[in-house]
């Protein structure tokens, strides 16, 4: 089995300080939290940024400041969000890609998202894939529902993305594919051989989906973007606490955890370049 890549999704766009008082918001807070996650065993930081008042933003400048502060502390892989928050236009969502980060998300279709609709039209997917290609950024395909895998492969047919492919199955969003073992197995079987996958279980599904991924040879995403609890009724004290639990479980199951350098090799990321 490949070494385990742990992604920390520490911020997101929807989680608030009201639901999780330890949510990092400022560039300094996010960089400190990223370093703690790296020390705990995360090799990828899935990055969203916020304004000082806590509202979500895709500001290129805010991403630039935050990435610089992360890179001052450690060589973790920074994967910027191109999802942003529901309702943001494509141009706004694409701002952090101009910084040429090592990775970015690419959501592969439109999906109901709680009471909202997370829009990703066929034309949007092409715009995201073109921007990532132009800037030399490795995509992580965000798969909220089974049909999105086909949309990702269509981008390959158009010559916009190249293997090795990496998929993130986001399971348990209200309105999207439920987080069940059966669905996870189905998705695992539905991606091309040679592709890698990660699972991000939402809410109470985060831990059981992660444990399944550790045993099946997939990779794991944890953090406050997807889940704010350590266990039922008990808030997590930090994102790093959630990462550390996965490292302990992986150790018990004899699954070694990847360093950022090992994750780069597995994901086809050529080498680590500091941001200008
Ligand atoms: N905030 C969600 C609407 C991504 O980061 O690419 C989208 C999201 C996906 O978080
Ligand atoms: Zn995200």
Sequence-separated (6 or more) residues with CB below 8 Å from residue 248: none
Give yes or no for residue 85 CB within 6 A of ligand 1: yes
pLDDT, averaged across the chain: 97
CA of 183 from ligand 1 middle (Å) equals 21
Q: Phi and psi (nearest 5°) for 235?
A: -65, 145
pLDDT of 275: 56
Q: H/E element holding 105?
A: strand 103-107
Written as one string, the DSSP assignment of 147-206 is THHHHHHHHHHTTS--SSPEEEEEE--TTS----HHHHHHHHHHSPTT-EEEEEE-GGGH
d(CA 221, CA 198): 7
Sequence-separated (6 or more) residues with CB below 8 Å from residue 217: 1, 2
- The model's pLDDT over 26-76, given as tens digits with 9 standing for 90+, comes to 999 999 999 999 999 999 999 999 999 999 999 999 999 999 999 999 999
Q: H/E element holding 56?
A: strand 56-57
Give yes or no for residue 79 CB within 6 A of ligand 1: no
Give burial (CB, 10 Å; 0-12/13-18/19+) of 140. buried
Residue (of 45, 78, 39) closest to 274 by Cα position: 78
pLDDT of 48: 99
pLDDT at 271 over 90: no
**Which residues neighbour ligand 2 (ion) by CB within 5 Å?**
81, 83
pLDDT of 270: 86
d(CA 108, CA 63): 23
- The model's pLDDT over 195-229, given as tens digits with 9 standing for 90+, comes to 999 999 999 999 999 999 999 999 999 999 999 99
What the block records as the tokens of 85 is 């928050």
Peptide bond before residue 164 is cis, with ω within 30 degrees of 0? yes
Sequence-separated (6 or more) residues with CB below 8 Å from residue 252: none
CA of 253 from ligand 1 middle (Å) equals 31
d(CA 259, CA 226): 23
CA of 121 from ligand 1 middle (Å) equals 15
């Amino acid at each position: 089995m490949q070494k385990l890549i742990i992604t920390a999704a520490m911020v997101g766009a929807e989680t608030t300080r009201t639901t999780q008082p330890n949510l990092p918001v400022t560039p300094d807070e996010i960089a400190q939290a990223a370093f703690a996650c790296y020390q705990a065993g995360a090799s990828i930081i899935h990055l969203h940024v916020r304004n000082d008042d806590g509202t979500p933003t895709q500001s290129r400048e805010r991403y630039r400041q935050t990435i610089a502060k992360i890179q001052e502390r450690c060589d973790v892989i920074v994967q910027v969000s191109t999802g942003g928050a529901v309702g943001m236009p494509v141009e706004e969502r694409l701002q952090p890609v101009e910084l040429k980060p090592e990775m970015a998300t690419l959501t592969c279709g439109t999906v109901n998202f709680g009471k909202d609709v997370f829009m990703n039209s066929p034309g949007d997917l092409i715009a995201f894939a073109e921007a990532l290609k132009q800037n030399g950024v490795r995509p992580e395909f965000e798969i909220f529902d089974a049909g999105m895998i086909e949309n990702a492969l269509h981008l390959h047919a158009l010559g916009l993305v190249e293997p090795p492919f990496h998929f993130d199955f986001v399971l348990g969003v209200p309105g999207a594919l439920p987080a069940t073992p059966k669905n996870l197995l189905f998705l695992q079987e539905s991606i091309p051989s040679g592709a890698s996958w990660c699972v991000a279980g939402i809410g109470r599904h985060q831990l059981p989906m992660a444990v399944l991924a550790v045993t099946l040879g997939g990779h794991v995403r944890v953090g406050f973007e997807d889940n704010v609890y350590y266990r039922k009724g008990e808030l997590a004290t930090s994102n790093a606490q959630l990462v550390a639990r996965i490292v302990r479980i992986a150790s018990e199951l004899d699954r070694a955890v990847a360093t950022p350098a090992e994750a780069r090799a597995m994901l086809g990321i050529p080498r680590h370049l500091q941001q200008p």
